[in-house]
Amino acid sequence: MRHLYIILGDQLDERLLRDLDAEHDAVWMAEVDSEATHVWCHKQRLLLFLSAMRHFRDGLTARGVDVRYRELSPRRRRGEPPDHARALTSDLREFQPEEIILTRPGDWRILKSLSEALDGSGLRWSLREEEDHFYASLEEFAQWAKGRKNLVLEHWYRHLRRREGILIEGGQPVGGAWNFDAANRKSFGKKGPPPIAPLPGHTWDDRTREVATLVEARYADHPGDLESFSLPVTRGEALTWAEHFIQHGLPRFGPHQDAMWGEDVVLWHSRLSAPLNLKLIHPRELVEAALKAHDEGRADIESVEGFIRQILGWREFIRGIYWTRMPEYAESNALECEDRRVPSFFWTGETDMSCVAASMRGLIRHGYVHHIHRLMVLGLFSQQLGVHPYRFHEWHMAMYLDAVDWVSLPNALGMSQFGDGGIVGSKPYAATGKYIKRMSNYCGACRYRPDEATGDQACPFTTLYWDFLDRHRDRLATNQRMTLQLKNVQRKDETTLEDIRARARWLRDRIDAEERI
């Protein structure tokens, strides 16, 4: 064997094997228990990764590629290697290639363990970068970030727009603005959204069914169910989903991308983040398709720019933050939170808060809710409650099908929980229940009142908002973007603040006791 290529579950792209010689090289892939259990993974997340991996293996085998593949069995077996490092070490005793090629994993933890195993093998190995799946190299991001007092997404986004010539004419942004975020925050009003074209779905085949049997047998106690699984597990399916979004979703995506409505936690969002993060589809393919739709008059600038910003701006920025700040970044806890875990109803959805209950029903059913459910419902509640930022990240990794460590950690710990103190987001996302009322239809039927902070009908979001600002007012006093909110706290008299503190303590006590709120 000349080269042994290691392919992980989020590296399902044949471009990573472009120089593979089927006569002399082989591919190593492994399903390992630790990736299902280091966080309490949603069943659909396991189904997605394992089914996609097996389909990818089958495609390689059909082309005559030698794939050394380790499968999990429905029952745990004695002596089964628990993780990638030990599985690889065991297999290298059987075949000793001239060189092992590892593409950078999406998780610092796995990079560290595999690097140590490969160093200990005595064999030659090399680390490659995922050049096809990102516009910028890590070296470029590090150079751009060097010497900057603050790392601002918008500045990085404009840098890449200019370099790539995306939505640029005559050196100026198309539409007269770099960012149309202000135009993309509309609610649906009382009428709600117009009809939405259903997503393409997934055709269950023998591979998906065999993985479903494995998951139900081996991980029966994990959250979620498999019946509604619908995500693409092959490149062909991913391309079909992309075409569907460009035709049906993108034209309506922009103005209402922050809105929420009832049980539909997807609306016009693409759900392409999961196949994108598994490398079944490429970011340039999505950006080019969106640009073509704009050029042909099939989607307006607000929608196209908003979609491209998520890929060219946010995705690239988050990756740069992760790899230039790890491993210390994972220990960030700027608000000095106690080691509090997410509430029990973040696994079950059993709560009287209508917005949280609806978000959790969607998450349990689909392993997905769009970014406002994540940030301004579930993330907002966790931050204001005082959940430890890394515990929130662990929950996020467990429950979301599109979660890989490099993208989850800066989004969950940083953006959502302000655990990094402002590296990703310049201020904490703190808000009362009035924000949710403005952006959704949840509050009308809820037993809580978003404009009340104390009393039996007080919205927990509103109570915890004022308590959060009160608890952290000294820590946030130097943040200019928090000035107005902190002044509003200062206007409240001490009696009112003490009532709010008491109600917040009552909420935490009930949550800690796993009693319903």
Calculate what percentage of the chain has a pLDDT beyond 70. Answer: 100
Band of pLDDT at residue 122, cut at 50, 70 and 90: very high
User: What pLDDT does 254 receive?
Assistant: 87
Q: Report d(CA 29, CA 102) in Å as an integer.
A: 11
Cβ(309)–Cβ(157) under 8 Å? yes
Q: Report d(CA 141, CA 283) in Å as an integer.
A: 17
User: What pLDDT does 189 receive?
Assistant: 85
pLDDT in tens, 281-320: 999 999 999 999 999 999 999 999 999 999 999 999 999 9
User: What pLDDT does 450 receive?
Assistant: 97
pLDDT in tens, 141-187: 999 999 888 899 999 999 999 999 999 999 899 999 999 988 888 88
Calculate what percentage of the chain has a pLDDT beyond 90. Answer: 89
| Other Cβ atoms within 10 Å of 97 Cβ, number | 19
b/e code 340-371 from CB counts within 10 Å (16+ = b): bebbebbbebebebbbbbbbbebbbbbbbbbb
Q: Report d(CA 15, CA 49) in Å as an integer.
A: 19
pLDDT in tens, 19-66: 999 999 999 999 999 999 999 999 999 999 999 999 999 999 999 999
pLDDT in tens, 345-379: 999 999 999 999 999 999 999 999 999 999 999 99
pTM above 0.85, yes or no: yes
Indicate the helix (H) or strand (E) that contains 101. strand 99-103
User: What pLDDT does 313 receive?
Assistant: 95
